[in-house]
Structure 1
Amino acid sequence: MTPEFAPSHQDALPIWPVWQGQPVPDDADAGTWPESCGFEGAAGQSCLLPDGRGGVAGALFGLGNRDRADRQRFPLARAAETLPEGIWRLADIPEGMDARQAALGWLLGQYRFTRYKAGTGAGRARLVCPQGLDAQEVQAIAAAEFLTRDLINTPASDMGPQQLEDAARALADRLGASIEVTSGPALLDANLPMIHAVGRAAQAEPRLIDIRLGDGDGPTLTIVGKGVCFDTGGLNLKPGASMGLMKKDMGGAATALGFLQMLAGTGAALGRRIRVLIPAVENSVAGNAFRPGDVLTSRKGLTVEVNNTDAEGRLVLADALTLAAEDSPDLMISFATLTGAARVALGPDIPPFYCDDDATAQAIQAAAMDAADPLWRMPFWAAYDSLIEPGIADLDNAPSGGMAGSITAALFLRRFAQGAGRYVHLDIYGWQPTAAPGRPKGGVGQGARALLAALPKILP
């Protein structure tokens, strides 16, 4: 599915967005019809306007309470889902409504995951891009989000390490980027031992995917995405209820690939050198699986005591971050569906992010709100460093006690990111548990649009 605006058309039907409690615009010429239909402008409420000949002349669409607009991201997305098939245009952009976010929300609301379901070709309401917006840029952002959603929604039977590599190769080919993949025993030869250890029990070989886009002497951006294509928990086996969503444990990799497509599609990649590293593994159970109590030696040389094989994401990321930091990128970003603790703290909608540089963090926080892609800064709290230092190795992959789980995971990763100019870590969820405007239930990208919006300030 490709998110696209409709071509401008003289017969496009007008939509008047209306804040709850505000009067209907005079040019809608609606008379008492909205009142008789019970239209109040509540979020997602629509009112079709008759043309007097049995047809539709346009529609009113409710934006909800303007004073609580932050509660409803992409309210206009509901129009894409509920209005009749046809071509529509915004007849009015009321004060307080962001036309760009409204248009993007409309496109995001068109998303459907149709790979396994027949009979999903129903017509849809299409929007003419509002004047003054860059239609290609908005479409590129939506298309990149669709890629991320498709990758996350695909079950592990069709999105294992090999298929994730295939998707990365297809994207690299479309963008004219180079790609190298190191897999199986070659990971040991390349000194990527923890990626190999985590993935060696699976039938599909573990691998590291390495994509490079751009050359010259521009600023360097390295993106690392956790690609655990399915997580059984290893020998510390997850209960069934916890294993049900583990096809999404490669959500960091999916977001990294979507972010790369977004950078290229919007022109933000121009003048920058971009690298994407994805450790792609399946954490499985077999006789050769890594064990609780094992001590692994990382690429960096730091030893890690494995106190829980279900804390495997930070292990594969550690080797990838070390490799990335050896190039001393100006900015390094990691996306990972890393901890349940982040969900307990902030819920599914607001991923925490970690960054030691205040100016970078402030720019990201501000951009996240403007882009309707919320993030919340959490601290690399140095006082907790002792929690990740066990007795017999340099580091512990799963500190006991259960407190500050997202922070201790971020501190663990930071040990391996040293060498990068600045490091930003996002502990994302990658999943929309209940449908919301522009975000149907299922896989979802988090953080990429915020970082795209922040990029001019954090990597000029």
Structure 2
Amino acid sequence: MPPEFGDPNAPTRPVWLVRQTTDGPQLPDAITEADAAWARAQGFAGRTGQICLLPDHAGGIVGALYGIGRESPRHHRERYVLATAAEKLPAGNWRLANQPAGFDPALGALGWLFAQYRFARYKKAEPASAHLVCPEGVDAKRISALAEGEFLVRDLINTPASDMGPAQLEQAARDLAARHGAQISVITGDELIARNFPMIHAVGRAGAEPPRLLDLRFEGRGPRVTLVGKGVCFDTGGLDIKPASSMALMKKDMGGAANVLGLADTLARLGMTRDLNLRVLIPAVENAISGNAFRPGDILTSRKGLTVEINNTDAEGRLVLADALALADEEAPELLISMATLTGAARVALGPDLPPFFCDDDAVAAAMQAAGMAHADPVWRMPFWNPYETMIEPAIADLDNAPGGGFAGAITAALFLRRFTGKARHYLHFDIYGWQPSAAPGRPKGGAGQGMRAILNALPELLK
């Protein structure tokens, strides 16, 4: 069910956006006195998401008032202010009849499209019935591309591991490459050993499907940008097995892979890959249990040559990312970004809705955080805190994949990954959740994109 705007040539009904104030709703002058009286009689106050349908004399609906709340940012609790309108207005074509001060029509249109998402692979779902004609001055192609990328992420994460293992994730990458004319190569199974990706192989060799490394290239004219996404299609925890309650959502442990594919899809739809030399790397594995599973206490040698002591097989995401990052860094890209559902510590620190990112460059970090806030895709900077480097240095190997003590888990994971970079001009790591734990307007419970629009909109600043 792709996102779609309403037909501008078909009949439409107006929806007036109404601010809430201490003196009551700011009803538009364009509505009649009778409509204003009707709204007051219905108790319409302009609260965010509040709807008042306007009737005609025959009992039909001629328009609607829709509350967008107070203008003060401190009252903005809904990320996508028009999403509830998309979900609750009657079927048909709707157009914005006004745009109050402080209202962002592009973000409003995006929220409306996001609300059209349905995951209908296994259960029938009614399609969206209320459609918005793209507001004047809004780039419909851009908003549609953003929504398409988000829908792809949601679909990939929502699909269970029975239908989204390493082979199916590879097919999703191949479909994206075919759709946009990108090149793709895949290294599978024991070939990973021959091609020097030992940690990807070690983590994935016990899975029902062979591990693999997906490598997509969009050959553009511009600077090198490489995206690396964690593709752990299911995570049992390995021999350090998770409890059942912690395993329930592990189909989403490929959320980093889903997000970099969604971002690449969006960039391609917008034509931005023509001006970038874009590469996408995804180590796709299952962290499973079998006789050949890697063990606690094992020492693995990475692609970069650094040795890693395994103190917890459930800290596997950083291992597969490390080999992929080492490969990416060999080309010395201008911008290297990793995205992963990596640590519970990040969720404890910032919750599921605000993913942290790590970056050594203050100007780059400021541009990223500003872009996220401006485009309703918030991210929050956390530090590569150098004094914690000793925490990831065990006695008998170069690195420890799971330092004890329970402190600074997101930071030590990020420091571990940074050890496999160094040639890239800028390196950023995003520790995302990739999941909406409870439904919100425009964001149904389930898989979620995080950081994609922040990255996309920050790119001009990041590549200066």
TM-score bucket (shorter structure): over 0.9
Counterpart of 1:386 in structure 2 is 390
TM superposition outliers: structure 1 runs of 4+ over 4 Å: none
Question: Which of these residues, 395, 399, 406, is aligned with residue 403 of structure 2?
Answer: 399
Q: Does 2:436 correspond to 1:436?
A: no
Counterpart of 1:277 in structure 2 is 281
Counterpart of 1:182 in structure 2 is 187
Q: Distance in 2 between matches of 1:323 and 1:409?
A: 19
Identity percentage of aligned residues: 63
Counterpart of 1:93 in structure 2 is 99
Counterpart of 1:371 in structure 2 is 375
Q: Distance in 1 between matches of 2:320 and 2:270?
A: 30
- Superposed, which structure 2 residues align to 1:111-150 within 5 Å? 111-118=117-124, 120-150=125-155
Q: Does 2:65 correspond to 1:60?
A: yes
> SS at the partner of 1:291?
coil
Counterpart of 1:48 in structure 2 is 53
Counterpart of 2:449 in structure 1 is 445
Counterpart of 2:243 in structure 1 is 239
Q: Distance in 1 between matches of 2:305 and 2:316?
A: 18
The 1:209–1:369 alpha-carbon spacing in structure 2 relative to 1, beyond 3 Å, is same
Question: Which of these residues, 256, 271, 290, is aligned with residue 294 of structure 2?
Answer: 290
Q: Distance in 2 between matches of 1:28 and 1:145?
A: 36
Q: Distance in 2 between matches of 1:404 and 1:156?
A: 30
Counterpart of 1:11 in structure 2 is 11
CA contact (8 A) 2:27 2:36 kept: no
Q: Distance in 2 between matches of 1:417 and 1:437?
A: 39
Query: Could you state the TM-score of these two structures normalised by the residue count of structure 2?
Result: 0.97
Counterpart of 1:335 in structure 2 is 339
Counterpart of 1:222 in structure 2 is 226
Q: Which moved more, 1:422-431 or 1:122-131?
A: 122-131
> SS at the partner of 1:372?
coil
The 1:438–1:122 alpha-carbon spacing in structure 2 relative to 1, beyond 3 Å, is closer
What is the CA-CA distance between 1:123 and the residue it aligns to? 5.0
> SS at the partner of 2:440?
coil
Q: Counterpart of 1:131 in structure 2: which amino acid?
A: E
Counterpart of 1:28 in structure 2 is 31
What is the CA-CA distance between 1:26 and the residue it aligns to? 1.4
In the alignment, structure 1 segments of 5+ residues that lack a partner are none
Q: Which moved more, 1:363-372 or 1:19-28?
A: 19-28
Q: Distance in 1 between matches of 2:20 and 2:249?
A: 37
Question: Which of these residues, 101, 109, 115, is aligned with residue 109 of structure 1?
Answer: 115
Query: How big is the alpha-carbon RMSD for the aligned residues of Structure 1 and Structure 2?
Result: 1.0
The 1:197–1:123 alpha-carbon spacing in structure 2 relative to 1, beyond 3 Å, is closer
> SS at the partner of 1:75?
coil
Q: Counterpart of 1:440 in structure 2: which amino acid?
A: P
What is the CA-CA distance between 1:11 and the residue it aligns to? 2.4
> SS at the partner of 1:437?
coil
Q: Distance in 2 between matches of 1:28 and 1:408?
A: 58
Q: Counterpart of 2:434 in structure 1: which amino acid?
A: G
Deviations 1:108-138 (A, max 9, x none): 01111010002x2345100000011110111
Query: Could you state the TM-score of these two structures normalised by the residue count of structure 1?
Result: 0.98
Q: Distance in 2 between matches of 1:294 and 1:123?
A: 52
What is the CA-CA distance between 1:358 and the residue it aligns to? 1.2
What is the CA-CA distance between 1:357 and the residue it aligns to? 1.1
Q: Does 2:76 correspond to 1:70?
A: yes
Q: Counterpart of 2:2 in structure 1: which amino acid?
A: T
Deviations 1:378-426 (A, max 9, x none): 0000000000001110000001011100000000000002211110100
How many pairs does the alignment contain?
458
The 1:380–1:123 alpha-carbon spacing in structure 2 relative to 1, beyond 3 Å, is closer
Q: Distance in 1 between matches of 2:114 and 2:208?
A: 36
CA contact (8 A) 2:116 2:128 kept: no
Counterpart of 1:208 in structure 2 is 213
- Superposed, which structure 2 residues align to 1:341-352 within 5 Å? 341-352=345-356
Q: Distance in 2 between matches of 1:440 and 1:211?
A: 30
Q: Distance in 2 between matches of 1:73 and 1:401?
A: 37
What is the CA-CA distance between 1:268 and the residue it aligns to? 2.1
- Superposed, which structure 2 residues align to 1:150-161 within 5 Å? 150-161=155-166
> SS at the partner of 2:285?
strand
Q: Counterpart of 1:66 in structure 2: which amino acid?
A: E
Q: Does 2:250 correspond to 1:251?
A: no
> SS at the partner of 1:332?
strand
The 1:146–1:384 alpha-carbon spacing in structure 2 relative to 1, beyond 3 Å, is same
